[in-house]
């Protein structure tokens, strides 16, 4: 799982027709491409954003008068533009000065809300030159937030009981074929039917992105993508290279890894973050992980595994379960700035309370104070069901073994057993069959930023994506997931600004500190 938009740190820290495209993503020829004129020529009706809120957090964020919102019509199935439609919700913060165009932002996930991300980042982005020169636009991709189709497979009560999708890198617990069929049916019902569900994926969102470019009045797209947004952006670049002006990709998905390999690489990154946190903690007093960093994992398990049978109480009466505690720790490891929060949470568990780790879990899972969950985990799974191959029960078990080997902190002490893939009963097979980009298409100059100690999208992914796309890599020394234009590194933000506004790229060996 990739946290959207480096979501938790933000909350707590502040086609050119006929061109070859990504493997498994068919490209239209000039003679067969559907006519999308009616969608490109539509006029958006911008209005106040309050009606677009789907969570309590949105309600507060969207009240800002700097924002206006609209809904964009697109085909549900691009092969049938005269058929049913999807409706993409978007939020805009208009340029304060001389406008270059729109900067479209995707915060990652997949399943992250672009509307929520732009609203959250507005206090940082607005005073920047970016806020002066661009209309900053965030949209909710298919399956997400205020967009329809929207997928929401489980009730909030089920999520509270731990019956929904998990928020870590371990496979879902789907015991048999019937359970897989139930998941697929519930997700389809929530989205509006099977045809809606199978058109929630990266391929369709790339097409939506190009319609959005046209509807916003931009001849070429300027795009900022974090985490999964780097995958979305890369696919767009190879699908619509002539329609691209500038693309900044931050926290790259590695194009050379399969879905399983990428998940295992993330597990290794999370383990490195834990080891770094443990090294800092065990060298000081009162560390909940002990005094010996080589035994920190053992101490961690001794602290949390008892929660499997005996959750600890919390102020709101829900109690902290083992699964919720692990998710909270996992989320907090995405940024070095959050390590002290995780450690305080572990110390609290040692004292018999669970409020801090439960709060981290709730932020990750988008659970509001009203008990309502956002749908990021469900949209994440649904999008990946159409992007990644399905695994057999034996392959599920093998992935779990690999994850536990790469990240011992993810070993809950139970035997490895076979389970069904959560996508096993999806109505259609995945819409692509190979890497998300090929490197076979000439694309405009792209800037990739990558943090050396990124736990969620390891640095090698940034190196590989920049090489594949023929782009420029900006290496950032640090330990967090995502860095560009977050107001945390003046060096990075200046290079990003120069590129997006003036199309000026840094030297090939450029490097910044966090």
At residue 404, the 3 state secondary structure works out as: helix
**Phi-psi bin for 131: left (phi > 0), alpha (psi -120 to 50), beta?**
alpha
Determine the Cα–Cα distance for residues 468 and 482; give it in Å rounded to an integer.
20
Q: 465 in a domain, yes or no?
A: yes
**Candidates 250, 454, 489, 493; catalytic one:** 454
* Average pLDDT score, the chain: 93
> Distance between terminal CA atoms of the chain?
23
**Candidates 113, 227, 265, 489; catalytic one:** 227
Q: 101 in a domain, yes or no?
A: yes
Q: What is the pLDDT of residues 11-49, one digit of tens each?
A: 443 322 322 233 344 444 334 578 999 999 999 999 999
Q: Is 227 among the catalytic positions? A: yes
Q: Is 301 among the catalytic positions? A: no
Partner residues linked to 69 by β-bridges: 47, 91
- Whether the per-residue pLDDT at 100 is higher than 60: the answer is yes
- Whether the per-residue pLDDT at 193 is higher than 60: the answer is yes
Q: Is 315 exposed, middle or buried (0-12, 13-18, 19+ CB in 10 A)?
A: exposed
Bond from prior residue into 149 cis (ω within 30 degrees of 0): yes
Q: 152 in a domain, yes or no?
A: no
Cα four-point dihedral sign 164, 168, 169, 170:
negative
Q: 354 in a domain, yes or no?
A: no
* Domains identified in the chain, total number: 1
CB atoms under 10 Å from CB of 99, counted, come to 12
**Candidates 159, 382, 481, 493; catalytic one:** 481
* Per-residue pLDDT, 111: 95
Mean pLDDT of 268-272: 96
Q: 475 in a domain, yes or no?
A: yes
Q: What is the pLDDT of residues 280-330, one digit of tens each?
A: 999 999 999 999 999 999 999 999 999 999 999 999 999 999 999 999 999
Q: Is 411 among the catalytic positions? A: no
Mean pLDDT of 330-352: 96
Could you tell me what percent of the chain has a pLDDT over 90? 91
Q: What is the pLDDT of residues 103-148, one digit of tens each?
A: 999 999 999 999 999 999 999 999 999 999 999 999 999 999 999 9
What stretch of H or E contains 467?
A: helix 459-469
Mean pLDDT of 425-451: 95
CATH of the domain at 436: 3.40.50.1820
* Per-residue pLDDT, 6: 43
- Helix, strand and coil content of the chain, in percent to the nearest 5, comes to 45, 15, 45
Phi, psi of 180 (to 5 degrees): -65, -40
Could you list the residue range(s) of the whole structural domain that residue 198 is in?
A: 4-143+194-252+432-513
Query: 67 and 122 in contact (C-beta within 8 Å)?
Result: yes
Q: 360 in a domain, yes or no?
A: no
Q: In 86-199, which ranges are continuous DSSP H helix?
A: 114-125, 129-133, 156-161, 177-191, 194-197
* Per-residue pLDDT, 493: 98
- Whether the per-residue pLDDT at 158 is higher than 90: the answer is yes
Q: 237 in a domain, yes or no?
A: yes
Q: What is the pTM of this model?
A: 0.93
* Per-residue pLDDT, 32: 58
Q: 184 in a domain, yes or no?
A: no
């Amino acid at each position: 799982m990739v946290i959207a938009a480096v979501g938790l740190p933000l909350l707590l820290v502040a086609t050119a027709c006929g061109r070859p495209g990504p493997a498994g993503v068919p490209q239209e020829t000039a003679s067969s491409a559907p006519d999308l004129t009616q969608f490109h020529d539509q006029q958006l009706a911008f209005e106040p954003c309050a009606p677009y809120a789907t969570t309590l957090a949105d309600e507060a964020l969207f009240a800002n008068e700097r924002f206006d919102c609209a809904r964009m019509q697109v085909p549900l199935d691009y092969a049938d533009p005269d058929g049913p439609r999807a409706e993409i919700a978007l939020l805009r913060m208009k340029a304060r000065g001389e406008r270059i165009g729109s900067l479209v932002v995707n915060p990652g996930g997949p399943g992250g809300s672009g509307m929520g991300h732009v609203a959250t980042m507005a206090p940082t982005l607005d005073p920047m030159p970016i806020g002066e020169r661009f209309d900053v636009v965030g949209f909710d991709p298919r399956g997400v937030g205020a967009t329809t189709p929207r997928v929401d497979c489980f009730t909030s009560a089920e999520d509270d009981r731990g019956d929904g999708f998990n928020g870590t890198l371990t496979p879902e617990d789907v015991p048999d074929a019937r359970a897989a069929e139930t998941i697929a049916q519930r997700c389809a019902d929530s989205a509006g039917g099977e045809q809606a569900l199978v058109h929630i994926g990266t391929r369709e969102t790339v097409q939506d992105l190009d319609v959005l470019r046209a509807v916003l009045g931009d001849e070429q797209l300027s795009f900022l993508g974090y985490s999964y947004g780097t995958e979305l952006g890369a696919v767009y670049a190879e699908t619509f290279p002539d329609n691209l002006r500038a693309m900044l990709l931050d926290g790259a998905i590695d194009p050379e890894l399969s879905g399983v390999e990428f998940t295992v690489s993330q597990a290794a990154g999370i383990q490195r973050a834990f080891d770094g946190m443990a090294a800092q903690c065990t060298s000081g007093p009162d560390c909940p992980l002990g005094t010996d960093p080589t035994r920190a994992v053992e101490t961690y398990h001794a602290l949390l595994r008892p929660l499997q049978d005996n959750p600890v109480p919390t102020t709101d009466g829900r109690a902290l379960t083992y699964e919720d505690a692990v998710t909270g720790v996992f989320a907090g490891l995405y940024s070095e700035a959050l390590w002290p929060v995780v450690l305080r949470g572990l110390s609290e568990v040692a004292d018999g309370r669970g409020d801090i780790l439960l709060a981290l879990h709730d932020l990750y899972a988008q659970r509001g104070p009203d008990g309502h969950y956002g749908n990021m985990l469900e949209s994440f799974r649904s999008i990946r069901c159409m992007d990644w191959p399905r695994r057999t029960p034996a392959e599920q078990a093998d992935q779990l073994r690999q994850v536990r080997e790469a990240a011992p902190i993810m070993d809950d002490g139970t035997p490895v057993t076979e389970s069904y893939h959560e996508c096993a009963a999806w109505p259609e097979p995945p819409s692509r069959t190979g890497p998300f980009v090929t490197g076979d298409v000439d694309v405009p100059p792209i800037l990739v930023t990558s943090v050396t100690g990124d736990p969620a999208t390891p640095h090698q992914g940034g190196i590989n994506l920049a090489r594949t796309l023929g782009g420029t890599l900006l290496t950032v020394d640090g330990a967090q997931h995502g860095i560009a234009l977050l107001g945390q590194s003046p060096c990075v933000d200046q290079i990003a600004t120069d590129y997006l506004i003036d199309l000026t790229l840094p030297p090939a060996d450029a490097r910044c500190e966090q």
